[in-house]
Chain A
Amino acid sequence: MLQFAADVLVRAVDLALIAIALSAVYSLIRFPNVAVVQYSVVGAFLAIAMQGAGVPLLLAGAIACLVVAALAVFFNMAIFERILKIGSANALIASLALSMILSAIFLVAFGSQPTRLDLPVSRAINLFGARLTVNQIYSVVMTVVAIGLYALVLFQTPLGRQMRATATNAELAQATGIDTRRITNIVVAISGVLAAIGGISLAVKGAVSIEFGTNMLLPVFAAAILGGLGNSMGALAGALVIAVAETLVTNVNFGPLAGQSFFYLPANYATTVSFIVLVAVLLFRPRGLFVSGVNRV
């Protein structure tokens, strides 16, 4: 049971930061920017490359976050701001195209083989019967701190108030003197940082390959939509729900039902579950699990 909880926690941490980043951007720019998922892979690859070049890991991570933030703002101003004027569907397609281009760049720059951060590998710690590795614990701590800081900015600072005001009603926010374009780009930059931390926290736990972004896309999307796109803290809850669903599929022994002592569903069926959850939510609660006064989708 504790192993189940540990697996859920680790999986939720995988998804949470990227889902929050996706949701935060959506709250201001009304289209789901698929490329945010790839930003996390950019962050991970940059950190790995810099560490390989001899930069200390913490510094490499910090630089990677800043570079990804700058890239996110650049892409937003150069591509998405313009295409959004045509329509949000066009912007969605453009973000898909950007994802594919980034993927191709990873292939050329890093090859098709998985790469990893150079971290000491140690045996898992047995916490009351649950196996957790030190690196998994690092990644949980990183994610919790990042989400905590983001929540602090969002709910406790003037900047956060402006962000929320712009998200709720951009015209009204502008009328009260908020520079909404600036706020939008700040949120885009923050989402870049969150995505990069998400990617690095994944790289801390295991290998990263160019298919990473594609593999994460569906569960991250499901988590963000579950939480109500644009509701960034809802995305956190969404990530937890997806993690529980995936872990149920892979950790429950269906042996007794199948008349065998052990029968597990193949671990790759986990993604199917997030797909089912996604479809179910879109059918029955298209605005996510948490009803809000603001029309978000």
Chain B
Amino acid sequence: MTSVRALLIGAAAVALTAGPGMAVPAVAQEIAIGAVLPLSGVNATIGEDQRRGITLALEEINAEGGVLGQPFSVIIEDSGGRAQTAIDAATKLVTVDQAPIVIGEYSSGNTLPMGQYLVQQGVPHINPASTSGQIRDIGETSFSVVGLDNVSTAFAAQDVLDQGWNSVAVFAMNNAFGQGVAEEFAEHFTALGGEITTSLLYNTGQSTYRRELQQLAAGTPDAIVYTAYGTEGAIINQEAFELGLQDEFPFYSILMTMMNSDTEAQFKVGQIGMDVGYIGGNGGSYRDAYMAEYGEDLLSAYGGYAHDAVLLAAAAIERAGSTDSQAILAALAELGVEGFEGATGTINFDEERQRTEQPYLKFITDGDDLAVREE
């Protein structure tokens, strides 16, 4: 018995050590990086948009001969919108697929722990969507192709002041993203001479926000500045309408495309806000390719950023001349200094590897849809 067991263990050990080695010839055929996206769960629509952006980027790259003369591909894993699943997916991409770069996720709460895992492994990470200020602290091997909340809230603060609203109440969800938005907006708004009457953080997943809305109204601000995810935004806007608050105060939405599709037209009449821009310098061709491939307009702003993350990853590997992580990190830093042209405009990194400038759009509701405000 004992000898049989020893044999089995020995065979298993051989199989284990041989495993990665045997996988190498297959992988060497093409260069594959990894991506973790919320393909299911609350943010599934955004995840699908990101997947489309990645697909289009791959078509562009491979049409031009791939990377280092090899076909280029992205192994996509579903995070389910959960932090633990995102980490598990990244672990699989790093240990099994040996992906030289991992792109992901969407919400800051998932990108943070996943990015921290990748930094510990020394694997380059590209954040294509999360804007929490805490993303800045993920670590040495983490880059963002989307501007963080310090950039977006500065834009929003100026936009709100331009409306003549000098004192506002701020309403954001109680998580890494919402806290970041509330703090950074207040900082920029007061620096520009505005005044914050009340700043409230709400817990996500509630069935009613009446209490919070009444607290906001008590401060009699000029306007209420808020940010909300899809269905929560729908409840907040409906209750604000029911309470008559929308008649008393204008509402301003930060990252407006997050909530817009879920909120009924009658509860957001005339509401204004801002979001990250869909397209920059070379964005026109991306949008054309998207509409030709999928037969509809861009689902969100975030597909373009995922698209650019893939282009940037391919360019970095090409420049590095190998899939060695140190060489890729150096190449990413160089590209960030020179400025990399993507569908969302020129991508430049600051010394903490975060995008310095990016396009934003001002919106106003137009029935169910959003129209761009030209001011």
Contacts and interface: CB of A to CB of B under 8 A. Distances in A.
A208 B206 CA distance: 9
A268 B203 CA distance: 7
A3 B205 CA distance: 25
Given A121-B238, A251-B214, A205 B243 contact: no
A250 interface: yes
Contacts of A251: 211, 214-215
A264 B207 contact: no
B211 A267 contact: yes
Interface string A236-257: 0000000000000011010000
Interface string B24-59: 000000000000000000100000000000000000
Interface in A110-146: 112-114, 121-124, 126, 131, 133, 135
B259 to A, nearest CB: 13
Contact of A206 (B201, B239, B241): B239
Interface string A206-239: 1111011001000000000000000000000000
Contacts of B375: none
Contacts of A205: 208
B242 A133 contact: yes
A113 B42 contact: yes
Interface residues of B, number: 31
Contact of A207 (B203, B208, B244, B267): B208
A113 B242 CA distance: 21
Contacts of B205: 114, 209, 211
B242 A267 contact: no
A131 B235 contact: no
Interface of B: 42, 174, 197-198, 200-203, 205-212, 214-215, 218-219, 231, 235, 238-239, 241-244, 247, 266-267
A113 B231 contact: yes
Given A123-B244, A131-B244, 8 more contacts: A7-B214, A121-B266, A124-B243, A206-B210, A206-B239, A250-B211, A251-B215, A264-B198
Contact of A112 (B42, B219, B238): B42
Given A122-B242, A123-B247, A209-B207, A262 B212 contact: no
A101 to B, nearest CB: 20
A285 B87 CA distance: 49
A63 interface: no
A250 B218 CA distance: 12
Contacts of A135: 242
Contacts of B266: 121
A268 B212 CA distance: 9
B172 to A, nearest CB: 12
